[in-house]
Structure formats: structure tokens, C-alpha cells
Amino acid sequence: MSDILKSSRRAFLRGSVAAAAGAVTAGAARAATPDPLITEVQDWASGLGQGVDEVPYGLPIEFESDVIRRNVEWLTADTISSINFTPIHALDGTITPQGCAFERHHSGAIELKKEDYRLMINGLVDRPLVFTYADLERFPRENHVYFCECAANTGMEWAGAQLNGAQFTHGMIHNMEYTGVPLRSLLNEAGLSGETAGKWVYVEGADASSNGRSIPLEKALDDVLVAFKANGEALRKEHGYPVRLVVPGWEGNMWIKWLRRIEVLDQPVESREETSKYTDTLADGTSRKWTWVMDAKSVITSPSPQMPITHGPGPLVVTGMAWTGHGRITRVDVSRDGGKSWETARLSQEGGNKALVRFYLDTDWDGGEMLLQARAMDETGYVQPTKSQLRDVRGENSIYHNNCIQTWHVKSNGVAENVEVS
Amino acid sequence: MSKFPKAALFVGAGAGIAATAGLAITLADRFVTPMPATAPTIAFQIPGGGAPAAEVIPAATEVAEQAGLAEPADVPQAGAAASAPEAPVMKMAAAQGLTDSRLGLGRPALEAEIAAWDVDILPDGTGLPEGSGDVWTGEEVFAEQCAACHGDFAEGVGNWPTLAGGWDTLDRKDPVKTVGSYWPYLSTVWDYVHRSMPFGAAQTLSDDEVYAITAYILYSNDIVDEDFTLSHENFLEVEMPNAAGFIVDDRAEAEYAQWRAEPCMENCKDSVEITMRATVLDVTPDQAGAAEDPPAVEKATVEETEAVEEAEAVVPAALDAELVAAGERVFRKCKSCHQVGEGAKNRTGPALNGIVGHPAGAIDGFSYSKALKQAGEDGLIWTEEDLKAFLAKPRDYLQGTKMSFSGLRKEADQAAVVEYLKSFAEE
């Protein structure tokens, strides 16, 4: 194996081939000389570490400083109305830490105190109500793990392979455990009379964009959650502190942050976010609207362009994540030859309802080139399509809901690249 | 601590429909007329339920909250244990849609509160306030409030949205989606401009201004003539060109039907060719660790010495009153993001009192772009010349600045704004 291979990951991250990598990784198979990390007493084995009062709330250790959200500057006009990407390439398991979970704002992340928080329910209800944050805490609570995916995730890849990294192609997603009150409980409190069919709730945020969206009342009464905790702690500012809406399985734009109002209506509002945006233009120029559900999708997070293989042939862990807005992921297949043949990967746990699942293919790499792909299946029998299958139906002008099979070209030196294959 | 009693309460509440129905009627009455705090409350006495009345939330506190008299105090939190299992009452709700098992939480929303927040406009015009605005007024307001991002003719600046044009592009590569070519409802325009624009100063436009801006956007799209006045009365008469251009999600028929099938596992295709590579495009952001590799601000660094020298040379000079007045007019373009003068605060952009001669990226409490912060740390001072150069083309002058303004083309305008800003020296 060449030095380039040994240091490729670090070189990639630091933008320099000169990075010191050699000695440590080289010792994998057989050490010629004793490893000083073992034979010499290291500072950390002799001196003292940090006291318990130094970091009241901890951040990841400095050596992980490259595992951060990143944005793509050319995508949007301004970082205040923009999006960044979860470093999914460097994460494992299923839960996304809040601090690196992607953000999407339309008027920036606002600061709203719990004391200043009000939630109004009005419209076609028996009693229009106003709740404080403290009121919400008195309703029976539930905990659920759900994925939240922006409808535009992988949107830049419609026309062809563009961004070289799983973080950028698939990082508009996170998966957290939410604590909150079912929206149903709040609507019940305000009182609904008559038919639910044909009715809608309009939900909006307290920020300047308001980001209003219309949701059919059936969904609102089904599994929508008014959440105030994620992964056990308060929501982060950038995810809607103190209260956001969780709309399981549906596009992230509907997960209203800084939720301030829920209005029951007999028609959709047809707001900006559900007409001019988040609609899918087909080849003939007509556009689909109300495309809320996120279809089954998967991606290999390692190896991937930001996670080259840094060891030689032999044992290799191929891993990635899969999710579906239709319920549970039941199976993920992996191909090493660009889709000619497939083998079924191992799910690390049973797929949760509308939650992300982790898969592994524990394999033996022969050091040859691979065209790595993953293909998810969900409990409805839906099989994740190829990009050409999607294009055959929708053309190339869609932006949202690109759930195509992704291909990474892994070269014999371990470096991976985002490619499109026939 | 409160886990067991509360769980018991919910078991009780869910124990029988008859019990919960009775509870609801009592609570409903309380919303109509706030009950005196001393009123006996039977709301939480649950016949046949397992919860002793003593375990129930104190009624007086409850009623006081309903009447909006008190913030919830140290009342035991219902369901305080996050691990509490789904309460039976919730399962009941899930199975039957809704029950009448209300908890009596929240308070009635007042009419004035609903009026303040419920401002959405429906496609049928519901919610539109009385008012009107014509194209020409709209052009003026648009130039002042919108053109910095959307262009004088709604053509869009940089990556900001294009609002006009794009006809007949929806079935071509890279369709241009504008109000004229794409938006199906005019109500959406009014609603969004009124609620969320201008960027950084939402909810500052009057209703008539919103009518006028909407009229101008329609005019820019050739949907109405130049003498058109839009009002709540003729609002629904405007025909949006792409109103019929949308279909409801048909993935179930068009896609799911064919993609719900057992997938191929072996010999799925004869050959595989790489048809496109991301690295050829080279549009992926640099991924060096943020901490170790701050973005380069070469221009500012190079000019550091020069800038400091110039700054020292700045002496208070008599202001050109005429130029200040001209600057005040030009500054309208900046006002959606910047405040200046007495009581100026940071908004989308920093407050600008004393900015001339001030170190860059250093107004207290404003969250600057990395680029501008770095430029300040490298010694950039906002001399008149630097400010003018910045104002001419902000993003050319300082790559990475958050300031989205495209720039003041005329040198006279640049000079006027700087003179105007000079008139607000820091206290």
C-alpha cells in the first residue's frame, strides 16, 4: 500500500498530502519496531487531565473538529435564508446529535424564550385557545424517534453527480428522539366539531418567515407531535426552541419551528411554501403539489468521498442509513458493482416507524475498484428507485424528493467519488 | 414523584366514555364564563375512576389560569415522568379521532389576539383587508423596499428570487419559476409579502403598500396594465397564468405501483459505465476544519497598513448638508436591514452609528460573517474610501460578507450615503 492510501483520509480533510499519518496506521499488520506510544510513558498516562468543573456543558473533543455542519455557499443568496448539512459521513448509530443536525431557516434562527412563548389554536374550533409553554408541559407526553428530511435533500443531484460527499448529497436529514404532546391532544382541548374529512390545519412559526404550511386534519390527528425536547434536552435554537412541530415521515419544511399558531380550516392556505416552493415540476411543465411523504431512501455513509478507505485489503465495514416516510425499513441491499448484483446488508436493529435505521455490510475488500450502492425497501414493498427510474417518470426539472440510489466510485487506493452510472 | 398519582388520573379519565363526556361539558361551560375562584369544581372528579380527588390539580389554581389571572405556579406537572407510558386516554383519542376528555388547559384566545396573529389570506380572498394600491405606487415602494434583492424590474439580484418573467420555461431545462410563470394563486403573493417581506423587516408594510407591491409584481409579469389598481374588490378577478399547472401528488399511481416489486439480486444488468463524475464539476465546498483554516480575506489583509494610516488621518470635517440629505434618500435602500440614529439597534445588519472610521466587524452584539470579522481582526477600518468601495459592490470587496445588497452603482450615491453616515458620529 502506498503512503497516499495510508494518509488519504487525513489528507482529504486537511487539504494536504503532507499531513503526518504514516507511522501509526502503518503498524497494522506487523510492527518492525516497538511502538513508542506503547513503550514510552505518555503525558496522559503520567500527568493529570481536566477537572469536572472545567466544562459544564461539553462539546466534542478538538480532534473531532472536522465533524461539523457545513453549507454550500453557492446554493442560496444568503446564509440567513439557507441550509446546512449534517456530517452524516462521520456519524454512526441512528441518533443525530443536535449540535450537528442540519439547519434550514427562512429568516434566520430566532431567540424565543419559554416565558415569551405562546401557542394559539383558532379557526374551526369550539374554543380558540392560547397556551403557554408551561401549559404544554401539563399534557400527557410521548417519546418517539423520527427522521426529519428536507424535501430538497439530494436535490442538487437531479441533473447529475454534483457534490462530492455524503454530507452534501444526503445531509439534509437528522433523526432524533422527540418528547412532546400529540397535536391531537391540543386540538381536542380546543374542541373539533363535525367531520374531519376535508379539513386542514394551517401551522406557522413565530419567525419573520412564519413558514406556514397546510396539513390535512387526518394527519394532524394521527401522529403529529408538538415537541419541546430532542434527544432528552431542550430543542436547540436552530431547531425551533422552545417548541417545534414534528410531522413524522413528511418533508422537513412542514416541521414548523418556533410554532406559534395552529388554525383549523376547511381549505388549504396555499402558502408560498406549498405553491412556489416544495412543489415538483414534471417534464411536461405541470407540477405536483402536496407531495408530503418522503419515500424510502438509503445512502452509504462510509466509505464515501469524505470517508475514503484508509486501510488495505481485508476486513471492511460498509455502513449507511435508510429511512422511509411510509413506516419501517425492512431491508437494505448493497451492490459493489454498480447494481449488477446485490447482497443484503445487516440492519443494526429493527427499523423504527418513520425513523432512520443503520445498516452494515461486514465484508472482505479485495482492494479492487467498487461502484458502491445501497437500495432500501420498506414495509409497503416499495423499492428505492434508480435515478433513471425517477427521471423516466418526472424528467429532470424536479428539485425535491430525489430518493434515487446513490453511487460511490471507490478506487483501489481507497478514495471514493460521487458518480452517476448507466 | 408525581408519576403514580398522575398515571392514576389518566387511567381514571380513560376508564369510561360516560365519565369523560361529563367532564367535558363542565369544562366547556367554564370557557364561556370564567368561574369565580371559589367555585366548587367537579371537573376532575371522575366517577368510576381510580383517582382519588385529592390527587387532582388544585381547582382554584386551574380556574385562575382559565381566567388569565395567574401564570401556572408550582403545580405538579401532569405526566412529568417522560417515561410514562401512553396514557389510556390518548389511545382512546387515537382510536376514535377525538374524545371529549379535555384537561382544561390553556385560556381563551381574545379576539384582538386572533386578529393580530391570524393574518393568512386564502385563495378565495378570505382574510384580505380593505384597501388598494396601483402599479405606479407599487413601483416606488418596490424600488425602495424590494429592489435591493429582487431587482428594479423584479428580475432578481444574484441568487435572490426572480419574481417576473420565465414564461414558457416550465417544460424546459432549468425552468424559471416566478410569480407570473409559476405561482397559482395571487393570495399567496399578498399573504407572503404582507407577512414576511421585506427580508429583515417583516410586517412593516401597510396594507395599501402590499396591494401596491402586488400590483407592481403583476405588472412586471405583464398580467395587468400600467394603469391597474389592485384592491380587495377586484382581487379575485386577476387570472394567474399557471393556475391550472398543478396536480395533486400522484406518486401512488405513477410510481409506487411499479416500484413495489421484489428487486433483482443477480445479473441485473449487462454492463455498468460511469456517466458523470462530481469532481469534474468541482463545486464541493472546501472541507478544511473550520477552526484551523479560517477563510482567507486577502484584500483586507493587504490593505491593512494603508487602512490604519488613513483612519488616523480622518479628522472631523464640516458635513456637506446637501450631500447628507441626498444620502438620507439613498439610505432608504439600506433601511430594511440597517438602523442609524438615536436608538438604532442591530437588525439584519449592524447599527451604523459612528461606522465611519470604526474598525470593521466590530459593532457590539452583531453577528458578523467570518470574513468581515477576520477583516476587522486584520485591521480593516471603515474609512470613507473603504466604505465607498464596499458599498459599490459589497461581495466583490469582501468575499464572504453576509450583506446581501448588490451595491450602489453611482459614485455620487456612495459618497452621499457615506456623508449621511458621517452625520451619525458615535456618542
Residue with grid cell 392556505, as numbered in its chain:
A269
- pLDDT higher than threshold 70 for residue B306: no
Q: What is the pLDDT of residue B318?
A: 77
Q: How many domains does chain A have?
A: 2
Residue A2 lies in a domain: no
Confidence of residue B332 (pLDDT cuts 50, 70, 90): confident
Q: What is the pLDDT of residue A77?
A: 84
Residue that terminates a domain, selected from A246, A265, A286: A286
Confidence of residue B230 (pLDDT cuts 50, 70, 90): very high
Answer yes or no: are the C-beta atoms of A266 and A216 closer than 8 Å: no
Residue B250 lies in a domain: no
Both A221 and A122 in one domain: the answer is yes
Answer yes or no: are the C-beta atoms of B372 and B387 closer than 8 Å: no
Both B128 and B181 in one domain: the answer is yes
Q: What is the pLDDT of residue B101?
A: 82
- pLDDT higher than threshold 60 for residue B206: yes
Both A255 and A307 in one domain: the answer is no
Between B411-422 and B321-330, two packed helices, what is the crossing angle to 10 degrees? 110
**Would you state the cell numbers that stand for residue B274, as one nine-digit string?**
460511469
The mean predicted confidence, pLDDT, of chain B is: 75
Residue A413: CA atoms inside 13 Å, Cβ hemisphere, count? 13
Both B87 and B143 in one domain: the answer is no
Task: Work out the average pLDDT over B308-317.
Answer: 40
Task: Work out the average pLDDT over A95-116.
Answer: 97
**Would you state the cell numbers that stand for residue A109, as one nine-digit string?**
434562527
Measured between alpha carbons, how far is A210 from B34 in angstroms, rounded to an integer?
32
Q: How close, in Å, is residue B213 to chain A by CA atoms?
A: 16
Both B328 and B215 in one domain: the answer is no
Chain A, nearest residue to B254 by Cα: A393
Single out the residue of A166, A363, A339 nearest to residue B265, CA to CA.
Answer: A339
Q: What is the pLDDT of residue B409?
A: 74
Single out the residue of A185, A189, A219 nearest to residue A201, CA to CA.
Answer: A219
Tens digit of each residue's pLDDT (9 = 90 or more) over B335-354: 767 889 888 888 778 899 98
- Asked if the C-beta of B250 comes within 8 angstroms of chain A's C-beta atoms, the answer is yes
Percent residues over pLDDT 90 in chain A: 88
Both B406 and B331 in one domain: the answer is yes
Both B69 and B165 in one domain: the answer is no
CATH code, domain with A369: 2.60.40.650
CB contact under 8 A, A12 and B287: yes
Answer yes or no: are the C-beta atoms of B132 and B200 closer than 8 Å: no
Residues in chain A with CB shorter than 8 Å from the CB of B173 are: 396-397
- pLDDT higher than threshold 80 for residue A97: yes
Residue B242 lies in a domain: no
Measured between alpha carbons, how far is A329 from A351 in angstroms, rounded to an integer?
5
Q: In what order do the strands lie in the sheet with A287-289?
A: A280-281, A287-289, B246-248
Q: What is the pLDDT of residue B31?
A: 38
CB pairs under 8 A between A and B: 335
Q: Give me the residues paired with residue A201 across strands.
A: A215, A264
- pLDDT higher than threshold 90 for residue A7: no
Enclosing H/E stretch for A173? strand A173-182
Residue B413 lies in a domain: yes
Alpha-carbon distance values, A215 to A121, A247, B126, B365 (Å): 14, 9, 18, 38
Task: Work out the average pLDDT over A251-265.
Answer: 98
Helix (H, G, I), strand (E, B) or coil at A133: helix
Q: How many domains does chain B have?
A: 3
- pLDDT higher than threshold 70 for residue A69: yes
Residue A137 lies in a domain: yes
- For residue A239, give the DSSP letter: G
Tens digit of each residue's pLDDT (9 = 90 or more) over B174-204: 899 999 999 999 999 999 999 999 999 999 9
Q: What is the pLDDT of residue A349?
A: 94
Measured between alpha carbons, how far is B242 from B183 in angstroms, rounded to an integer?
6
Q: What is the pLDDT of residue A29?
A: 63
Single out the residue of A158, A145, A24 nearest to residue A96, CA to CA.
Answer: A145
Q: What is the pLDDT of residue B349?
A: 83
Residues in chain A with CB shorter than 8 Å from the CB of B291 are: 62, 65
Residue that terminates a domain, selected from A259, A286, A313: A286
Q: How close, in Å, is residue A333 to chain B by CA atoms?
A: 9
Q: What is the pLDDT of residue B69?
A: 38
Residue B101 lies in a domain: no
ipTM given for this complex: 0.90
Percent residues over pLDDT 90 in chain B: 41
Both B368 and B321 in one domain: the answer is yes
Enclosing H/E stretch for A94? none
Residues in chain B with CB shorter than 8 Å from the CB of A421 are: 272-275
Helix (H, G, I), strand (E, B) or coil at A38: helix
Residue type, B63: V
Measured between alpha carbons, how far is B56 from B348 in angstroms, rounded to an integer?
48
CATH code, domain with A201: 3.90.420.10
Answer yes or no: are the C-beta atoms of A323 and A356 closer than 8 Å: yes
Residue A206 lies in a domain: yes
Residue that terminates a domain, selected from A286, A315, A334: A286
Measured between alpha carbons, how far is A112 from A128 in angstroms, rounded to an integer?
23
Residue A30 lies in a domain: no
Answer yes or no: are the C-beta atoms of A85 and A168 closer than 8 Å: yes
Q: What angle do CA B136, B138, B141 make, to 5 degrees?
A: 115
- Asked if the C-beta of B395 comes within 8 angstroms of chain A's C-beta atoms, the answer is no
Q: For B415, list phi and psi in degrees, rounded to 5.
A: -65, -40
Pick from B71, B114, B149: CB nearest A128: B114
Both B124 and B57 in one domain: the answer is no
Residue A55 lies in a domain: no
Measured between alpha carbons, how far is A316 from A311 in angstroms, rounded to an integer?
9
Taking only residues 84 to 113 of chain B, the set having a beta carbon closer than 8 angstroms to any beta carbon of chain A reads 84, 86-87, 89-90, 93-94, 97-103, 105-109, 113
Both A181 and A313 in one domain: the answer is no
CB contact under 8 A, A420 and B274: yes
Tens digit of each residue's pLDDT (9 = 90 or more) over A319-333: 999 999 999 999 999
CB contact under 8 A, A288 and B250: yes
Alpha-carbon distance values, A389 to A208, A394, A404, A405, B258 (Å): 39, 9, 8, 10, 10
Question: In this predicted structure, which of B69-73, B102-106, B386-390 has the lowest mean pLDDT?
Answer: B69-73
Q: What is the pLDDT of residue B288?
A: 54
Cβ-in-10-Å burial (0-12, 13-18, 19+) of A136 comes to buried
Q: How close, in Å, is residue B227 to chain A by CA atoms?
A: 27
Q: What angle do CA A216, A110, B212 make, to 5 degrees?
A: 70
Measured between alpha carbons, how far is A147 from A247 in angstroms, rounded to an integer?
9
Pairing of strands A259-265, A118-123: parallel
Q: What is the pLDDT of residue A135?
A: 98
CB contact under 8 A, A295 and B260: no
- pLDDT higher than threshold 90 for residue A53: yes
Both A282 and A301 in one domain: the answer is no
Single out the residue of B230, B264, B41 nearest to residue B134, CA to CA.
Answer: B230
What is the 3-state composition of chain A as percent helix, strand, coil, each rounded to the nearest 5?
A: 20, 30, 50
CATH code, domain with B327: 1.10.760.10
CB contact under 8 A, B109 and A382: no
Residue A130: CA atoms inside 13 Å, Cβ hemisphere, count? 19
Confidence of residue B296 (pLDDT cuts 50, 70, 90): very low
Residue with grid cell 425513523, as numbered in its chain:
A355
Residue B211 lies in a domain: yes
Residue A8 lies in a domain: no
Confidence of residue A155 (pLDDT cuts 50, 70, 90): very high
Q: What is the pLDDT of residue B182?
A: 97
Q: How close, in Å, is residue A331 to chain B by CA atoms?
A: 11
Q: How close, in Å, is residue A315 to chain B by CA atoms?
A: 23
CB contact under 8 A, A66 and B187: no
> Of the spans A205-209, B59-63, B364-368, which averages the highest pLDDT?
A205-209
Interface with chain A: mutation pick from B98, B110, B150, highest number of A CBs within 10 Å:
B98
Confidence of residue B212 (pLDDT cuts 50, 70, 90): very high
- Torsion angle of C-alpha atoms B253, A156, A77, A79, degrees rounded to 10: 100
Both A179 and A255 in one domain: the answer is yes
Residues in chain B with CB shorter than 8 Å from the CB of A71 are: 285
The mean predicted confidence, pLDDT, of chain A is: 93
Residue B389 lies in a domain: yes
Residue B251 lies in a domain: no
Both A157 and A240 in one domain: the answer is yes
Confidence of residue B99 (pLDDT cuts 50, 70, 90): low
Single out the residue of B196, B217, B201, B207 nearest to residue B151, CA to CA.
Answer: B217
State the SS3 of chain B: CCHHHHHHHHHHHHCCHHHHHHHHHHHHHHHHCCCCCCCCCCCCCCCCCCCCHHHCCCHHHHHHHHCCCCCCCCCCCCCCCCCCCCCHHHHHHHHHCCCCCCCCCCEECCHHHHHHHCCCCCCCCCCCCCCEEEHHHHHHHHHHHCHHHHCCCCCCCCCCCCCCCCCCCCCCCCCCCCCCCCCCCHHHHHHHHHHHCCCCCCCCCCHHHHHHHHHHHHHHCCCCCCCCEEECCCHHHCCCCCCCCEEECCHHHHHHHHHCCCCCCCCCCCCCCEEEEHHHHCCCCCCCCCCCCCCCCHHHHHCHHHHHHHHHHCCCCCCCHHHHHHHHHHHHHCCCCCCCCCCCCCCCCCCCCCCCCCECCCCCCCCCCHHHHHHHHCCCECCHHHHHHHHHCHHHHCCCCCCCCCCCCCHHHHHHHHHHHHCCCCC
Residue that terminates a domain, selected from B188, B220, B237: B237
Single out the residue of A100, A10, A103 nearest to residue A59, CA to CA.
Answer: A100
Alpha-carbon distance values, B353 to B144, B321, B356, B421 (Å): 22, 18, 8, 7
**Would you state the cell numbers that stand for residue B226, as one nine-digit string?**
400600467
Both A330 and A282 in one domain: the answer is no
Q: What is the CA radius of gyration of chain B?
A: 31
Both B92 and B143 in one domain: the answer is no
- Number of Cβ atoms within 10 Å of the Cβ of A286: 16
Measured between alpha carbons, how far is A235 from A241 in angstroms, rounded to an integer?
5
CB contact under 8 A, B272 and A381: no
CB contact under 8 A, A422 and B273: yes
Measured between alpha carbons, how far is A100 from A419 in angstroms, rounded to an integer?
26
Q: What is the pLDDT of residue B150?
A: 94
Both A234 and A382 in one domain: the answer is no
Confidence of residue B317 (pLDDT cuts 50, 70, 90): low
Q: Give me the residues paired with residue A347 across strands.
A: A359
Interface with chain B: mutation pick from A86, A183, A276, A329, highest number of B CBs within 10 Å:
A276
* Domain containing residue A197: 98-286
Give Dmax (Cα) for chain A: 81
Both A253 and A320 in one domain: the answer is no
**Would you state the cell numbers that stand for residue B41, as one nine-digit string?**
369544581
CB contact under 8 A, A188 and B102: yes
Both A268 and A309 in one domain: the answer is no
**Would you state the cell numbers that stand for residue A70, as one nine-digit string?**
457545513
Both A261 and A239 in one domain: the answer is yes
* Domain containing residue B368: 298-422
Helix (H, G, I), strand (E, B) or coil at A136: helix
Residues in chain B with CB shorter than 8 Å from the CB of A72 are: 283-285
